[in-house]
Amino acid sequence: MRLILVVLVGVALAGGAAAAFVFRPHLPDAERGRRLAERTGCFNCHGPGGIRGAANPGRTDKTVPTFEGDVMMYAKSPDEIHQWIDDGVSKKKAASKTWRAQRDSGALRMPAFEHRLSERQVNDLVAYVMAMSGTPEPEDALPSRGLERAEALGCVGCHGAGGRLAKPNPGSLKGYIPSWDGADFPDLVRDSTEFREWVEHGVSERFKRDRLARFFLDRAVLKMPAYERHLQPGDVEALWAYVRWLRSPEAAREDTEQAGGD
């Protein structure tokens, strides 16, 4: 009897560990950066999501730069974005007398976070800023078309800029919408066939047959829409090409190369 009890306890513990693994969040770097930016106060000046800068009296540009459209005027690489977060200024701008005079004339100044944040936290913020600024971008035509169609179809409204975020989704399995470049994606989409099913019908055949999956899909506040009636010829292939590019070593290598530039 005691042996049976020990076995049952062992099975229960193993099941609990498995459940903990399945339910464990796997947030992408950019999403961790978004949540950190919100907690750290970045959006107070850069605006909601970092895309609507607050007024900055005294400055010729009049507003705080946004992550979405102004980044490349101030930082040409991930390394320079890192410098802004660490020191409140990049090395290039700090060496410019003209820029220092402009900064001194403004009411608001970028704070330095070097002693407030860990290296990983700063890297997460860099990932978020890059996602919002749309960098890096695919160079080939088909994935570029996929990104364009993702924006036109509204995919980025839920999946975030470039499909790189994991916005909250109460009631879902992990509480967020999975990003296209995150660790959750292969569990949801095994191949191009399942990807097409998700895009066209809002759910894959595999998940439709899985009771546990259906429970969480039905319970989630936000549900994947069925785009079949709204697709143009070649859309699914282009979207899949973009997702594959986003998850590819080439995209990661472009990040690394940009970080070493300028």
Q: Please state the pTM of the whole predicted model.
A: 0.84
Beta bridge partners of 63: 55
Tens digit of pLDDT for each residue in 60-76?
Answer: 888 999 998 788 788 88
| Whether residue 159 is found in the same domain as residue 215 | yes
Q: Please work out, in degrees rounded to the nearest 5, the angle formed at the alpha carbon of residue 242 by the alpha carbons of 164 and 169.
A: 35
14 part of a folded domain: no
Q: Write down which residue in 74, 98, 133 finishes a domain.
A: 133
Identity at 149, one-letter amino acid code: R
pLDDT tens sequence across 119-135 = 999 999 999 999 999 99
Domain residues for the domain of 146 are 141-253
Asked if 104 and 65 sit in the same domain, the reply is yes
Give me the helices (H) in the chain, please.
Answer: 2-23, 29-40, 42-46, 71-74, 78-87, 91-94, 97-105, 119-133, 141-153, 155-159, 185-188, 192-201, 205-209, 211-219, 235-246, 249-260
The CATH number of residue 193's host domain is 1.10.760.10
Q: Check residue 25 and give its pLDDT.
A: 83
Domain assignment present for 4 = no
My answer on whether 198 and 96 are in the same domain is: no
Range of weakest confidence among 5-19, 58-72, 214-228, 231-245: 5-19
Over residues 152-166, mean pLDDT? 97
